Structure 1
Amino acid sequence: MNHSVRKFFAAAALLACLPFMPELAAAMPAASLPDFTDLVDKVGPAVVNIRTTAHVSSAGPQRALPPGTDEGDMSEFFRRFFGIPLPQAPNGQNGQNGQNTPRGGQNDGGNGGNQDGPDSDSEQNAGVGSGFIVSQDGYVMTNAHVVDDADTIYVTLTDKREFKAKLIGSDDRTDVAIVKINASNLPTVTIGDSNKVRVGEWVVAIGSPFGLDNTVTAGIVSAKGRDTGDYLPFIQTDVAVNPGNSGGPLIDMQGQVIGINSQIYSRTGGFMGISFAIPIDEAMRVAEQLKATGRVVRGRIAVAIGQVTKDVADSLGLPKAEGALVSNVESGGPADKAGVQPGDIILKFNGAPVDTDTDLPRMVGDTKPGTRTTVTVWRKGQSMDLPITVAETPSEKTAKTGDHEAPSAKPQPRNPLGVTVSEIPADQRKSLKLKGGVQVETVEGPAARVGLQKGDIILRIGDTDIGSAKDFQQAVAHLDPQKTVAVLVRRGENTQFVPMRPRVAMAQK
């Protein structure tokens, strides 16, 4: 058969197939893509919408957010990825008469449109998020920042039943919270194993982005163990997650929850292809403690640590860059008593290798206080094992709970910055070479969102130098909730300005 004849038969065969090409093209992609319908039918009924309200004075101007936008999400977004609070909008741009409009067309919790007098308190929508039911008797898991500062929490099921929920406990460090509704025989999710998650596998998110209930989005796992500077290593995905998705489940193809959608990376405030979820294994450990005691207990060894770079490793004779470099040891703390010194590199904790400096806080935090174990340190060209007894992290002794009736509950700061302070002892002031300042004792609300911690020293608020606790109280009493204020904070040897957005002052309960 010559070349011309072969070309003729090839052309004829191609022409014969042309009528069937559209059907083949349509069928082939459909066969290779996953079908999420059964998965959504299985998990969807256990995913809930969470709406929060707060009592605020109707006399003050309200904050501006798009309808259905979760202020908690946006505050977290600006704090975690820009280091600044949620910006304020100009007066009169918040909807009618400067008031927040109801989210997603829903009512605002039965407050009659906020028609109270100018000096009275009224219930305002504070945010909207997502959650999922973990037990038939009404325990719901969500993000801590979804219910942060809420006076009332409403949980709406897919069958449109709405319940007023009780906050069992929340943990800011992991951003996990548990709430309880008074119901029974509820649909529940199946908890998976986040350790078995594989990069590249398909995953699904269900939640209420911008107040749009039961929205389903899908994508793949982009990375595991992603450190963003927080306590937990996150699951990174390209699943579309937007404000309002926070607290909703991340689901694998077996219909099991493998994470809680918590954060996004964005330069615009909207989804840009990168989202982060809290691994469900870590979240469940926190949830069990919250359910049992309403608080989370973590271990500490009282050291400040930093990264071990290749240059540091080479200069110290360490075979490779690993471990956590000790920069400071708290006097009288567990590490000090064990003989750990500044300049040591912690290579192992309780026999497990410390690959990076971010591994150590999680390993120590997951250890029960009182546990006797060992740390392996690298010092002067050799490794040594030091016995150590893990202590309890003081700042974690009291997690936030929703039981406001408990007489022993420690009062929380209610000033616009969410901070309580104390005077700095004269000897400490002298050793730190300070002329003024006050020491932070407790943080919540705005202060917690920008990362203030117990022990920080506030030197100035705006243009006002702070020399005493009285100066602090006078300064915060005159803050404008519509304006961001720069707070000069010292932590250790570092001093920097932290922009904060004061909240509208709320009356003592």
Structure 2
Amino acid sequence: MKLKPLKMTVAALAVAAAVGGAYSLGQNVPFGNANAATQPTAAVTAPAAAPINTPNGLPDMRSIVASNAPAVVNISVTGTRKTAANGPDLQQMDPNDPFFQFFRHFRGQIPESRQPVQGLGSGFIVTPDGTVLTNAHVVDGAEEVTVKLNDKREFKAKVLGLDKASDVAVLKLDAKNLPTVKIGTSLQTQVGEWVLAIGSPFGFESSASAGIVSAKSRNLPDGSYVPFIQTDVAVNPGNSGGPLFNMNGEVIGINSQIYSRSGGYQGLSFAIPIEVAMNVEKQIVAHGKVQRGKLGVSIQEVNQSLADTFGLAKPAGALVASVEKGGPAAKGGLEPGDVILGIDGKTIESSGELPAAVAIKQPGETAHLQVWRKGETRNIDVKVGSFGEEKVASSETPSADKGRLGVAVRPLTPEEQRQAEVKGGLLVEQASGAAGRAGIRPGDIIVAVNGQPIGDIDQLRGIIAKSGKKAAILIERGNSRIFVPVDLG
């Protein structure tokens, strides 16, 4: 699902998804729409303290809110967008509207104008001299950024830099002796821990909400390298860029996205780990830009079927689906079908942990990888390159059933081989039986089976005949390559 910015008025969300998706939490509304917001009450600054337990066993978070609310800010941005001067905004029209196609067809003949727009988000102060962290999507394209403190003071902010890959932006206020939050770590955070968010949902400033950590190292469909912290904390449009606190009153993440069918909170919230954000902040302040390492591979999660196919003791690590030609991984000797089990002595339990571990390395540094290949572990050193966004392939867990492969295929033409950048390969024209149940579909290109490149139909039949009950089929679909575990029965 793609990230979508949310538009909001007091009455209703102007954009709602018909199906579930991941949404950024900034809010953008045209000038003239009213935005209700509570009048903030100045918080009393108090030393950070762990919450006490109330008689019913729940934590009392009053001290956390009192200590940190003064350092949590409301961010408003202004900018413009192009619209047709004599026609409606197509972004606000129903595609099924009979006039939609008419206006789209004649859009080029209608003069364009620039309409003012306004956005709202949250942020938090990390240095007394005015360094503020927020989400990149909150301030992206902004012409003016205003930061409002809990005590009602307002400052014009300068955008020092933003990093779309991590969705982190760094702002600077011309001020001194500002209240700050305490930066913690998400590394020791455990699923089930209580966490608390402070922000400005729908413009209601200094709003606090609480919940628990639902999961860690979540990969989202936007392809980001960020290993998100999933929570059930109620966050909504306007919370974007606000802090997520642990029960020691320390920031462990930045609230960034929600997964929703309606565009509003439905129990799934995602935060950027604070380590990722502070690494971005450090580089932007020092160099004005962000550099991070990359391996040059497409990876996917190892499920039980793939673990069985590759002979792993348990589902763990990051499966290499493809290797970028001439990239760092290729030069280091990584191959499709390798399972990366560790990096620099750290175990990789989930594929989502690998991109973040590589990204914190500087281009030119060496990554020491522990790799599973053909039933044994080996060590491979890769000199990392400069980040250009790792692609994360994904496939749903296939259902297991009996049967042989069940595909009708044909060899690729020379032109198709050139476009797919493969030698050999077979185009799937029909898929049923075991292949169909596993998710293989017409249009997929079978590149390899059990690590062996496929050149012709007879070779495919021979490998499948010797595969036993399971086979790992490497397919190319669109711009991604993924391994599909097939239960042959």
Give the TM-score of the pair, scaled to structure 1.
0.59
Offset at 1:243? 0.4
In the TM superposition, what is the alpha-carbon distance from 1:126 to its structure 2 partner?
2.9
Q: How does 1:279-298 map to 2 (within 5 A)?
A: 279-298=273-292
> How many residue pairs are counted as aligned between the two chains?
334
Check if 1:245 corresponds to 2:239: yes
3-state SS in 2 of match to 1:296: coil
CA displacement at 1:51 relative to structure 2: 0.7
1:431 aligns with: 418
Structure 2 CA distance for partners of 1:374 and 1:244, relative to 1, 3 Å: same
Correspondence for 1:175 among 158, 167, 181: 167
* Aligned match of 2:220: 228
Partner of 1:262: 256
2:201 alignment counterpart: 209
Q: Does 1:190 align with 2:187?
A: no
Q: Tell me the equivalent position of 2:158.
A: 166
1:41 alignment partner, one of 59, 66, 88: 66
| Paired residue secondary structure (2:59) | coil
Number of the residue aligned with 2:479: 491
Counting helix residues as a fraction of each chain, which structure ranks higher?
1
Counterparts of 1:273 and 1:336, CA distance in 2: 41
Q: What is the alpha-carbon distance in structure 2 between the residues aligned to residue 62 and residue 244 of structure 1?
A: 26
Higher strand share: 2
1:324 deviates by 2.3
Structure 2: gaps of 5 or more residues: 1-52, 96-110, 391-413, 422-476, 483-489
Q: 1:235 to 1:342 in 2, by over 3 A?
A: closer
1:127 is matched with: 119
Note the alpha carbon deviations across 1:364-390, whole angstroms, 9 max, x for none.
222222123432322232222223211
Which residue identity is paired with 2:76? Answer: R
Residue 134 of structure 2 corresponds to residue 142 of structure 1? yes
User: Cα–Cα, structure 1 residues 90 and 301, in superposed 2: closer, same or farther, change >3 Å?
Assistant: closer
Equivalents in 2 of 1:265, 1:131: separation in Å?
21
Q: Secondary structure at the match of 1:363?
A: helix
Structure 1 position 493, deviation (Å): 7.0
Question: What is the CA–CA distance in structure 1 between the aligned matches of 2:308 and 2:216, rounded to whole Å?
Answer: 29
Structure 1 unpaired stretches of 5+: 1-27, 65-86, 92-117, 397-426, 435-488, 495-509
- Tell me the secondary structure at the aligned position of residue 271 of structure 2: strand
Distance (Å, rounded) in 2 between the aligned partners of 1:216 and 1:179: 23
Using the alignment, how far apart are the partners of 2:342 and 2:281 within structure 1? Answer: 28
Partner Cα distance (1:387, 1:33) in 2: 48
Q: Structure 1 residues 429 and 205, CA, compared in 2 at 3 Å: closer, same or farther? A: same
2:366 counterpart of 1:362: no
- Structure 1 pair 376–217 and aligned structure 2 pair: CA distance change class (3 A): closer
Q: For the pair shown, which has the larger CA radius of gyration, 1 or 2? A: 1
Report the CA distance shift for 1:57/1:314 in structure 2 as closer, same or farther (over 3 A).
Answer: closer
CA distance in structure 2 between the partners assigned to 1:317 and 1:121 by the alignment? 59
In structure 1, the partner of 2:92 is 88
Root-mean-square deviation over aligned CA pairs = 3.1
Q: Distance in 2 between matches of 1:285 and 1:324?
A: 23
**Gap change, CA 1:165 and 1:386, over 3 Å in 2:** same
Query: For the Cα contact (< 8 Å) 1:289–1:296, is it kept in 2?
Result: yes
Native 8 Å contact 2:81 2:117 kept in 1 = no
Q: Deviations over 1:400-449 (max 9, x none)?
A: xxxxxxxxxxxxxxxxxxxxxxxxxxx99982179xxxxxxxxxxxxxxx
Contact 1:51 1:125 in 2 (8 A): no
Tell me the amino acid that sits aligned with residue 149 of structure 2.
L
Shift of 1:179: 0.7
Q: Deviations over 1:191-224 (max 9, x none)?
A: 1222233333332211111111112222233333
